[in-house]
Structures are given as C-alpha cells and as structure tokens.
Amino acid sequence: PEEAQSIIESIKNISSSIEMDKLDRDQQSDIRKLSEKKIPEILQKYLSIHPDYRTTLKNTAGKNAQELMISSLKDIEEVMLSAITFQEENKLKDLSVQKRLTTEIKHRF
C-alpha cells in the first residue's frame, strides 16, 4: 500500500540521519535490529497473506493485516525519530555546557 511505502521511505530518510556512533550499544543494536531484521520480517509476513485476506481478516483486536503492518512500521518510524531526538538533545546539552564555561570565564574578567 502507498501508506506503507511512504512510511518505509520516511524510515530510510530518518535512519540515514542517525549518527550511530552517538548512540549507546543497546540503542545501536535496537536500530540495527529494526532496520535489518524487523522491517523485512514485517513485510514478508504481510506479503505472505493472500491479497484477498489482507484487509478482510481481522485479529482478536479487530485489526487486519494491513493495519497491523502500518502500525508496526509507524512504531519503527517513532523509534528512529526518538533516536534522532536523543542525539539532538545531547548536542544541545553539549552546547549548554560550553555556554556555561564561557560565561564562567567571562565573569572572571
């Protein structure tokens, strides 16, 4: 579906912006696992369902295969966005530290 393609494209763009060396080992592992294993698994499982049943069959929660796939991809997209936010927050903290240091030096003169 177009929505899934759009989300996958977004995930690709976001993941290319992630600076893996700025994340801890667990975060790096999670990002790799999601992009290298989970996305292909989700797509494979969705595609393994006959097209006639992808939107008609529902699970116990009332979701069909397409909705489940889209929801899983959105979750991955959110994780990737969180990784970028984490990195940017750390950059801001570093800049704040530099500002405090320059202010301290300024007040000595």
Confidence band for 74, pLDDT divided at 50, 70 and 90? very high
- The secondary structure of 41-87 as a DSSP string is HHHHHHHHS-GGGTTT-B-TTS-BHHHHHHHHHHHHHHHHHHHHHHH
Task: Judge whether residue 109 has pLDDT over 90.
Answer: no
Work out the percent of the chain whose per-residue pLDDT is above 70: 100
Q: What is the pLDDT of residues 36-63, one digit of tens each?
A: 999 999 999 999 999 999 999 999 999 9
- Residues 64 and 54: their CA atoms lie apart, in Å, by 6
